[in-house]
Structures are given as C-alpha cells and as structure tokens.
Structure 1
Amino acid sequence: MIPTLSGRIQTRLFLFVFLGLPITALFAYSHAGWSWDWSQAQIFFLFLLTLLGVGLVLDPVYIFIQSVRWDRDWPFAFQFFFSIVEFGIVVGLMLNNWLPWLPMGGGKGAIELQTVTLHFLSVFIPSFLALLGPLSVFFIRWRFKAGQFGKL
C-alpha cells in the first residue's frame, strides 16, 4: 500500500480509537489491581495521547521519506521501526522532564519506564497485527484507497 497523508492520519486515528483506547482502559484497570482509579489511569491515556500527537506531527516527515523512495511505498517494516522511534521520542521527552503531564520516576503520580514499555507493547502489538490483516479484511477498499476509509 502507498499511503497518503490523509490515509495515514485516518488509519492512525482509527487504530487509536478502536484499539488504543480500549486496550489502554483495560491496561489501566489491570494495573490498578482490577479496580478503576482515574488518577492512575489518566497517566496511561495521556501517554497514549502524547504518542498519537508525536505520530501526527511526524506523519508529514514519513510522507517526505516515502516520496524519496524509488517506488514511493511504505513497507510494514518501516511502520514497525518508526512506531518504535515514536515511542523512543516520547520516552526521551519524559526522561528529560519536558512533558509535565507525564512525570517519570518513582514519585507520586509518576510512571516507571518498564510500565510505559509494557503499556506501549500492549497497544502496539495488536495495532500492528490489525494493520497487517484485519483492516484489509474488514475494510476491503482501505488498502486500495491509500489508507483512507471513506465509502466502501
């Protein structure tokens, strides 16, 4: 598939809403000992939103990288690699305390690196697998419309 900027953004938002948010809610629920604690859960939702924001900012860069490739495609290996890069950027910003809404460390309301990594993996793996198969199966024309949903 050769995604357009619009298709890339639509796919990212679709996966965020239909996989990222429910998995994050389940992760926060399990992390709090199978009880709902919004003060603890909001850190996971803020982390996911920050990851979404970084991805949306980098999408035009990805389109530029795609435009200089000879076949102008975007292989799934690139998707895998750049998702990890986005995670690294967010974690780097968190470690340098440049994201005041995401404190990192052991203090009150802070989140630890291994918890963030586990949360990222629990959202990333199902999202990536959905991108490889179910999206193409349930939205047949999604692949042929450069990642845009629109009319089926």
Structure 2
Amino acid sequence: MLPTLNGRIQTRLLALGTIGFIVALVITPVLPTGSQPLGQTYRVTLSVLLATVLIGVLWELLYHFLQQFRWEKDWPTLFGFVTIVNEGALMWFLVHSTTLVLPRDLHPSPVAFLIQFIVTWMVFWLIVNGPMRLVFHRWRLQGGRFL
C-alpha cells in the first residue's frame, strides 16, 4: 500500500522529530559556530529543526497535490531523496532572510546550517527507507500511519 497523505505527515512528524532531535543533540557541539555559547547553538539547531518539521507538513500538502498528476500517485524513492534541495533552500531562506525562525542575532553560519541540514536529512532518509520498515513492519500496510 502507498503512504497516504495522513501517513506521510505522521511519518515526517514522528521520524524527523525524533531522529532529527537525536542528530541535533549529537552534532551541535561539533558544529563550526565560532564563539557562540553551546546553549545558544542548541537553541539555533533545535529552532531550525522545529521549523523544518513544521514547514515539512506544508511540503507534504504540496507533494500530495503534485503526486495526483502521476500514474502511480507516488514518488520514486530518488525523488524523496532529492527533495533535500528544495526543502533546504526554503529553510535557508526562512532562517536567513526572515525572523520567522530565529532572531537576526542568532543566524547560523552557512557551513553550520549545511552540516546540520544535510546530516539530519541523510540520517532521516536512510532510517525511514531502511530500518524503520523492519521495525514498524505494519507501517507500510497502514498507509504510513502510526496512529
């Protein structure tokens, strides 16, 4: 069974929320942030993660709309991987061009943002497309829903 819209949203919220949180806890101390205190660095990385999770729900609505034009009503796995480009670009814009995610004095450096976003996305994508299917073997049969 193909993941439903509800299932994709639940998967994104649960998996990116938990996996992203763990990744942020691990990589934040080693990010190149200059003289920024560790507490402030955690605030930045967790704020970017939260914004990514929330904006991701809007992405899922757009992806669902676009999938209606495809015969299978689903994306190939590679399309799911390549979405890192458009989602990363939007998050970069929201983080650096607006104060919606962070105040102006807390913007991460481009390198720190790229490291956090790419590492989080890669770990998330690999786990959702690999081990999660083994651990939650009924997840796929329930349209990607957890609840």
Same fold by TM-score greater than 0.5: yes
Shift in Å, 1:141: 1.1
Residue equivalent to 1:12: 12
TM-score with structure 1 setting the length: 0.84
Matches within 5 A, 1:68-83: 68-83=69-84
Distance 1:99 1:79 in 2: 28
User: How does the TM-score come out when normalised to structure 2?
Assistant: 0.86
Other-structure match for 1:130: 127
List runs of 5+ in structure 2 lacking aligned partners: none
Query: What percent identity do the matched residue pairs reach?
Result: 28
**Matched ranges for 1:1-152 at <5 A:** 2-31=2-31, 37-95=38-96, 97-102=97-102, 109-150=106-147
SS in 2 for 1:141: coil
User: RMSD in angstroms over aligned alpha carbons?
Assistant: 2.1
Alpha-carbon shift at residue 125 of structure 1 (Å): 0.9
**AA at the equivalent of 1:89:** L
- Alignment partners' CA distance in 2, 1:17 and 1:92: 21
Partner letter of residue 56 of structure 1? V
Distance in 1, matches of 2:62 and 2:16, equals 20
Runs of 4+ in 1 over 4 A off after TM superposition: none
* Structure 1: tracts of 5 or more residues without a match: none
Using CA pairs below 8 Å that are at least 6 residues apart, which structure has the higher relative contact order? 2
